[in-house]
């Protein structure tokens, strides 16, 4: 049996020597395993999962030409297959990326479907090839099968060096998530205790155990839960002293919960406002943070996904000529409601887009004269300056 550092030092100094010992460095830190099912019970993580899932559901991959125009190739064979991917499958794919660190799509003929990451194991075969083992599931209706590398599109959320699969964000955040779950349990305990206040009844008279138990039951039944706050009348010389329960600020649960939310947001590259941390953040700032997330973290992930799809659905010749697969996120970046109205007004008045182009974003038909760019009256082209001077 291996000796610990503590026992070795004790042997050097002698068993009777008074020695102060710190933590036993030979004892490994306990590993905390958090399952995705447990992790999504944390509101901040569920918000992140929902955020990525909803954005993936709205995103549509397109095949673009390799020339300077970068026009969508609507008749490309790969584009026809990409159209078969449903919004529900894209949302499930986005959820898997957040919870498992890996997303899988299966190509069956001319269709594309989602493979649950919880059922997939990526393997390297003896001949060096890659295969995907899919477990059976009665709930999802899948049978045990092994798929070839050409049949599966795999995207990691966090690519791991020298690894077949991406790293699981849940496991990397296990300590933080575990703390968040403990805070939830502590909050429930505090609120439950507030609903049934801790009190001490005192009297100089002797009370039998039976009388004491009856008093306890009467108080609990009449002055806890929904009856909290009723007037209490004591007799027989009884005095009531309450035991104050520290509030959430004294327990620092609120501060700890905020720290957990921020750690989760940072790990996934999500602004704090999108996981519920709205302190000192106004609506304008929240919109700016959302746009920043779309242009940074989400865009980077979409590049990984698009490249994974292109590697399986485009030929080497097409890729070398510049043909690529990308995601159009312009609709999401334009926002909605007042944000969308302000954006359309800005780009139209600056002469960037025509009225018909703006109407197309809203799903409206073209209008007569809507293909002319508009320019502000106080802005004049360089070659028209002399004509403008009176």
Could you tell me which of 44, 37, 33 has the C-alpha nearest to residue 116? 37
- d(C-alpha 354, C-alpha 371), whole Å: 5
| Cross-strand bridge partners of residue 239 | 202
In total, the chain counts a number of residues equal to 390
Residue 258's pLDDT is: 85
Mean pLDDT, contiguous 10-residue spans, the chain (390 residues): 44 46 50 85 92 89 85 91 93 94 92 92 90 86 87 89 82 89 79 64 79 78 65 72 59 80 88 76 71 81 92 92 84 62 74 78 77 68 48
C-alpha angle 42-44-45 in degrees, rounded to nearest 5? 70
Tokens found for residue 237: 């010389």
pTM exceeding the 0.75 threshold for the entire prediction: no
Backbone torsions φ then ψ of 359, nearest 5 degrees: -65, -30
- How do 145-148 and 152-156 pair as beta strands? unpaired
CA 68 to chain centre: 36
Burial readout 358-382 (b: 16 or more C-beta within 10 A, e: otherwise): bbeeeeeeeeeeeeeeeeeeeeeee
| pLDDT value of position 134 | 92
């Amino acid at each position: 049996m291996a000796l610990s550092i503590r026992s070795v030092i004790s042997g050097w100094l002698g068993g009777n020597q008074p020695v102060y010992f710190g933590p036993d460095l030979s004892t490994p830190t306990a590993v905390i395993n958090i399952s995705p099912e447990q992790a999504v019970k944390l509101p901040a993580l569920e918000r992140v999962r929902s955020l990525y899932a909803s954005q993936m559901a709205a995103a549509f991959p397109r095949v673009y030409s390799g020339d300077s125009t970068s026009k969508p190739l609507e008749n490309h064979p790969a584009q026809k297959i990409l159209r078969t991917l449903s919004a529900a499958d894209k949302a499930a794919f986005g959820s898997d990326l957040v919870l498992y660190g890996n997303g899988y799509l299966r190509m069956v003929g001319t269709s594309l479907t989602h493979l649950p990451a919880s059922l997939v194991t990526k393997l390297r075969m003896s001949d060096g090839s890659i295969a995907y083992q899919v477990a059976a599931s009665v709930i999802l209706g899948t049978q045990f099968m092994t798929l070839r590398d050409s049949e599966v599109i795999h995207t990691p959320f966090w690519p791991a060096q020298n690894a077949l699969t991406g790293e699981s964000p849940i496991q990397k955040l296990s300590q933080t998530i575990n703390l968040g779950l403990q805070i939830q349990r502590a909050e429930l305990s505090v609120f439950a205790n507030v609903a049934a206040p801790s009190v001490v009844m005192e009297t100089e008279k002797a009370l039998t155990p039976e009388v004491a138990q009856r008093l306890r039951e009467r108080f609990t039944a009449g002055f806890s839960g929904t009856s909290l706050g009723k007037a209490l009348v004591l007799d027989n010389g009884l005095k009531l002293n309450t035991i104050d329960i520290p509030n959430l600020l004294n327990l620092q649960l609120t501060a700890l919960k905020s720290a957990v939310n921020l750690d989760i947001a940072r790990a996934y590259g999500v602004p704090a406002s999108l996981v519920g941390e709205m302190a000192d953040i106004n609506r304008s700032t929240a919109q700016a943070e959302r746009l920043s997330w779309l242009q940074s973290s989400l865009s980077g992930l979409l590049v990984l996904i698009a490249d994974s799809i292109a590697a399986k659905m485009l030929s080497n010749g097409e890729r070398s000529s510049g043909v690529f697969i990308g995601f159009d996120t312009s609709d999401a970046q334009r926002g909605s409601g007042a944000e969308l109205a302000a954006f359309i007004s800005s780009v139209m008045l600056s002469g960037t887009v025509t009225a018909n182009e703006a109407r197309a974003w809203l799903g409206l038909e073209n209008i007569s004269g809507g293909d002319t760019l508009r320019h502000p009256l106080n802005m004049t082209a360089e070659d028209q300056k002399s004509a403008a001077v009176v």
